[in-house]
Amino acid sequence: MRLPDLNWVEDRLSQPCDADAEAVAGMGGELLILGVGGKMGPSLARLARRAADLAKVPLQIRAVARFTNRELVGQLEAGGIETISCDLLEPGALEALPNARNVIFMAARKFGTTGEAHLTWAMNTYLPGRVAERYRESRIVAFSTGNVYPLRQITDGGATELTPSAPVGEYAQSALGRERMFEYGSAKWGTRVALLRLNYAVEMRYGVLVDIARAVFERRPVDVRMGYVNVIWQGDANSNCLRAFGQCASPPCVLNITGPEVLRVRDIAEQFGRLFNVTPQFSGEEAGVALLNDAAKSHGLFGLPQVPVEQVIEWTAHWIEQGGSVLNKPTHFEVQDGKF
């Protein structure tokens, strides 16, 4: 089997379903995406555009980022998405942006926190506080992370939205700070907010599955200290984001976003090993605790992911085997001390 090319990947990631079309039909004409330049943002913007086309409704989509990759500007503009280049931390930048009835907040910083924690706190906590004030009249869907939860005993299953937060390390603490800033804005101004605690979005060029697959394919040991994980196809995570606008509320609605399975890292590696005809190597010992989410609440609202993890594993194996491009940004999912 030969996996289709990069155009197929981008198309599959942004392929809308009827529920996506219904979600954007209720937006009222304007969507602003803050921090679109990351791993998920471009495909999310394209999904919103295609969902609006499917629904046959006018939707003005503006995507904001620093756009250090100038090629992305042309790609988004060609897809009917207006781009705005700015550094959101610069004085006056937020005030200069247009108003919007619906805002997706994606700007964040994780890797590089150790050594430059001040910048992580600025991006993850200070900036959300300013966005909460600037867009207090909007509906806001803000990406958060499952890292705000404590590590869980495997036998206890994943954390639910009612599990008390206990972030490990400064990145996770600053991510909880982001949530608190949006909660503050919601309490002060009645802003309707949805907070998405995501872990982990995956596709063929990036994510936990790519990290494991590449290690197996390249005959490197797979670190099993974080012995269990949850993952979700990025296209399904994007879909959940659009549909979360219907759940925006004050106080904010909190939703875990991930797949239904608790996956053992060793089992994933062995599955890739069978697909590659390679015997996996391992390092470390399973700690007995892991960062795990229970997304039953969002599954009840939006249904189970449309793309099952077994399919993503097969796609990823073929992609790696045929030399498909990857982002070369390890997730460091195995980290347990919260230092990124």
**DSSP character at residue 337:** S
At residue 328, the pLDDT reads: 86
Residue 321 in domain: no
At residue 109, the pLDDT reads: 86
Residue 36 in domain: yes
d(CA 292, CA 333): 11
- What are the distances in angstroms from CA 279 to CA 217, 266, 267? 9, 12, 12
- How many separate domains does the chain show? 1
Residue by residue, pLDDT tens for the chain (340 residues) are 455 688 889 999 999 999 999 999 999 889 999 999 999 999 999 999 999 999 999 999 999 999 988 899 999 999 999 999 999 999 999 999 999 999 999 999 887 767 889 999 999 999 999 999 999 999 999 999 999 999 999 999 999 999 999 999 999 999 999 999 999 999 999 999 999 999 999 999 999 999 999 999 999 999 999 999 999 999 999 999 999 999 999 999 999 999 999 999 999 999 999 999 999 999 999 988 999 999 999 999 999 999 999 999 999 999 999 999 998 888 888 887 777 7
At residue 3, the pLDDT reads: 54
CA-closest candidate to residue 104, choices 234, 239, 241: 241
* SS3 of residue 161 by DSSP: coil
Q: CB–CB of 93/126 below 8 Å?
A: no
Residue-number span of the structural domain to which 131 is assigned: 6-201+233-258+292-300
Residue 269 in domain: no
- What are the distances in angstroms from CA 291 to CA 7, 148, 179, 229, 331? 33, 9, 18, 7, 13
At residue 18, the pLDDT reads: 97
Strands 228-229, 263-264: pairing kind: antiparallel
Residues sharing a CB contact under 8 Å with residue 339, sequence separation 6 or more, in sequence order: 113, 114, 169
At residue 336, the pLDDT reads: 79
**DSSP character at residue 124:** I
| Ordered DSSP codes for 17-53 | -HHHHHHHHTS-SEEEEESTTSSSHHHHHHHHHHHHH
Strands 152-153, 139-145: pairing kind: unpaired
223, 6, 307, 57 alpha-carbon torsion, rounded to 10°: 140
CA-closest candidate to residue 66, choices 81, 91, 88, 82: 88
* First-to-final CA distance of the chain: 37
Residue 339 in domain: no
d(CA 322, CA 269): 18
Residue 286 in domain: no
Residue 278 in domain: no
317, 322, 326, 332 alpha-carbon torsion, rounded to 10°: 40
d(CA 196, CA 174): 15
Residue 51 in domain: yes
At residue 4, the pLDDT reads: 63
Residues sharing a CB contact under 8 Å with residue 290, sequence separation 6 or more, in sequence order: 151, 152, 154, 226, 227, 228, 229
Tokens at 101, concatenated: 């009835």
Q: CB–CB of 107/160 below 8 Å?
A: no
The continuous run of DSSP H or E covering 120 comes out as helix 117-121
- Supply the CATH number for residue 242's domain: 3.40.50.720
At residue 1, the pLDDT reads: 46
9 CB-side CA count, 13 A? 21
Residue 191 in domain: yes
